[in-house]
């Protein structure tokens, strides 16, 4: 099976540089509809679905391979190599921000920049580190998800989205969660919410932008500030937004942050 089919890869635009967009947990590439088209006139844009999500080939979902985010990072590197492009600009939302970081650590020559939208290296509080949740909070979340995935989705998706003045976005995320295979979602949720990649942050050499919402249920301000401190030479851009998906609920501010960052890099 081709990588393009496995990950449902779609390419648009004809620019000299390539931007790869990677979605978060419970989502698919359609979640970039308010942001990615803005770049098509100047860049080649690449959208794809993580294996197990969207229109990817679910038959290729291997629980052993995807027992950690490293399996997804391997897929990202295969997609980048398949593109045959010069080094790419990678834009990852939430868990895919960490996936892109791991890929760039392994093959820094393949990445011009890493743009993290609502990232978190660890959701669990630990000593002085504020991830936003206690370990019991996360365990309760996973237990609820395991017992009733659809019910969990209908409750959590609007809370994760935030955007109280845009209720349609909460419905959009709920529908996305509900389209995801429940067994795969349960497995991916454990991998996502129990991951801890704080020790990897100091290994980053790729120019990095952290886009942080000022009010985010899943990744509070302290997380964005921590990433900025720990990733050498990183840039932090705080977007006025309630929720975990500023690329949907505050697309103009998110686009402006990306544009400023790329301009500073002469990209």
Q: What pLDDT, on a 0 to 100 scale, did the predictor assign at position 172? A: 87
How many Å is the Cα radius of gyration of the chain? Answer: 17
Say whether 74 is catalytic: no
What CATH fold (topology level) applies to the domain 3-264?
Answer: Rossmann fold (3.40.50)
Question: Residue written as tokens 């949907």?
Answer: 248
The answer to whether residue 99 scores a pLDDT higher than 80 is yes
On average, the pLDDT of the chain sits at 95
The answer to whether residue 12 scores a pLDDT higher than 90 is yes
Which residue in the list 53, 94, 120, 249 is annotated as catalytic? 94
Which residue in the list 28, 49, 75, 216 is annotated as catalytic? 216
pTM of the predicted structure, to 2 decimals: 0.96
Say whether 94 is catalytic: yes
- The residue-averaged pLDDT of 11-23 equals 94
Closest CA to 47 of 28, 61, 26, 70: 28
Closest CA to 95 of 106, 103, 85, 83: 103
Q: Which ranges in the chain belong to alpha helices (H)?
A: 3-6, 69-83, 95-106, 135-147, 149-161, 167-179, 182-194, 221-230, 246-249, 251-264
**pLDDT tens by residue, 153-195:** 888 888 889 888 898 988 988 888 878 899 999 999 999 999 9
Write the secondary structure of 120-184 as one string of H (helix), E (strand) and C (coil).
CCCCECECCECCCECHHHHHHHHHHHHHCHHHHHHHHHHHHHCCCCCHHHHHHHHHHHHHCCHHH
Say whether 137 is catalytic: no
Which residue in the list 120, 244, 247, 249 is annotated as catalytic? 244
- Give the integer Cα–Cα distance in Å for 177 and 154: 8
Q: What pLDDT, on a 0 to 100 scale, did the predictor assign at position 85? A: 67
- Give the integer Cα–Cα distance in Å for 257 and 253: 6
Where b means 16+ CB within 10 Å and e means fewer, 104-137 reads bbeeeebbbbbbbbbbbbbbbbeeeebbbbeeee
**pLDDT tens by residue, 50-74:** 999 999 999 999 999 999 999 999 9
Q: HSE (CB half, 13 Å, CA atoms) of 182?
A: 11
The answer to whether residue 247 scores a pLDDT higher than 90 is yes
**pLDDT tens by residue, 100-127:** 999 999 999 999 999 999 999 999 999 9
């Amino acid at each position: 099976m081709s990588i393009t089919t496995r990950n449902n890869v779609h390419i648009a635009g004809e620019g000299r540089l390539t931007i790869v967009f990677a979605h978060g947990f419970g989502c698919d590439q359609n979640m970039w509809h308010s942001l990615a088209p803005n770049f098509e006139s100047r860049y080649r844009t690449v959208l794809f679905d993580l294996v197990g999500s969207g229109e990817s080939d679910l038959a290729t979902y291997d629980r052993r391979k995807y027992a950690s985010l490293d399996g997804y990072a391997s897929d990202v590197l295969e997609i980048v190599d398949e593109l045959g492009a010069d080094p790419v600009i990678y834009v990852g939302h939430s868990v895919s921000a960490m996936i892109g970081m791991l890929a760039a650590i392994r093959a820094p020559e393949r990445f011009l920049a890493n743009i993290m939208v609502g990232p978190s290296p660890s959701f669990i509080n630990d000593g002085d580190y504020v991830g936003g949740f206690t370990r019991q909070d996360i365990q309760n979340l996973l237990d609820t998800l395991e017992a009733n995935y659809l019910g969990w989705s209908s409750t959590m998706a609007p809370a994760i989205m935030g955007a109280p003045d845009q209720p349609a976005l909460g419905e959009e995320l709920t529908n996305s969660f509900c389209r995801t295979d429940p067994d795969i979602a349960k497995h991916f949720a454990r991998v996502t919410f129990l991951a801890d990649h704080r020790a990897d942050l100091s290994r980053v050499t790729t120019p990095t932008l952290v886009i942080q919402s000022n009010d985010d249920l899943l990744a509070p301000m302290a997380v964005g500030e921590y990433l900025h401190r720990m990733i050498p030479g990183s840039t932090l851009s705080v977007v006025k937004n309630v929720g975990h998906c500023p690329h949907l609920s505050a697309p103009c501010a998110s686009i402006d942050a990306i544009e400023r960052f790329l301009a500073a890099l002469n990209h």
